[in-house]
Amino acid sequence: MTKSGAHKALTPSQMSLGFPERQPTLDSLLVTAANETAVSILSGPENWPFPVVCVTGPARAGLTVLGRAWCQEFEGRFYSAQEFSRMREKELSTLAGAHVVIDDADQVKKMDRLLTLINMISAGSGRVLLTSRHSPGQWHTSSADLKSRLNALPVVEIDDPDEPMLKARLEMAARKHFLKLDPEVVKYLVPRLDLSYEAIETFAERLSERVTLTGRAPSVPLAREVLEELGWSDPDQRSLL
């Protein structure tokens, strides 16, 4: 269950982690069992046992949107791995008491910068949220000090989508491609699509292409054709996808 009063029940107006339609906030995120632990922990950085936390998740799980929502909530500073790698030492010193997100932190080219940031935040009052598809213990670094720090970081995982998340993300993905899925199409797809964010996105992209090429409206027969074209030859058996 979500925290009482912190996050609303699933409604069509709520935002999927992957597709922001406006500046995201933590309260606007879609929350199901797949990500409720991550959202709950990120909602209270003052309660973190350590001032640096890493959140991980599968491809296209919406880690970037989650990071931006956290920044919006706590007036933080958001940096991609490339942006952070270009920062100078003087610029780093301004982050000591700030809330900072490093997106795709495992892709930072100058890992010494990351070690400097972790050390500064640990000695100050700031907080750092790192996002990555991989656990910090798997990141490549030649620094034994940084490796030790990364291995000790608290890690919060976003799981593969459950069916409520799949349904909401599917509808969001369709809208991104200017498609409206009738309820019977969604009902057909939810038990048949693989429970992965990539499968949802790939299907929506292919469905959009088919609608454009054929001029047909999204329908159960067209959805079945797309599943088969993707090589999911038995769309009635999710385990085979």
Average confidence (pLDDT) over 3-22: 40
Q: Tens digit of pLDDT for each residue in 46-61?
A: 999 999 999 999 999 9
Q: What is the pLDDT of residue 118?
A: 94
For the segment 183-240, what is each residue's pLDDT rounded down to a tens digit?
999 999 999 999 999 999 999 999 999 999 999 999 999 999 999 998 875 545 554 4
Cα end-to-end span (Å), the chain: 29
**Is domain 26-157 in CATH 3.40.50.1100, yes or no?**
no
pLDDT at 125 (0 to 100): 87
Strand bridging mode 155-157 / 52-56: parallel
The mean predicted confidence, pLDDT, of the chain is 87
Instruction: Give me the residue spans of the domains in the chain.
Output: 26-157, 163-240
149 pLDDT more than 50: yes
Q: Could you identify the residue written with the tokens 């009635």?
A: 236
- Extract long-range pairs of 220-228: CB within 8 Å, 24+ residues apart: 220/184, 220/185, 220/188, 223/185, 223/188, 223/189, 224/188, 227/192, 227/203
Amino acid 104: pLDDT: 97
CATH level 2 (architecture), domain 163-240: Orthogonal Bundle (1.10)
Q: What pLDDT is attached to residue 180?
A: 93
Mean pLDDT of the 34-43 span: 95
Q: How far apart are CA 183 and CA 173, in angstroms?
A: 15
Q: Say which residue, 10 or 167, is predicted with more confidence.
A: 167
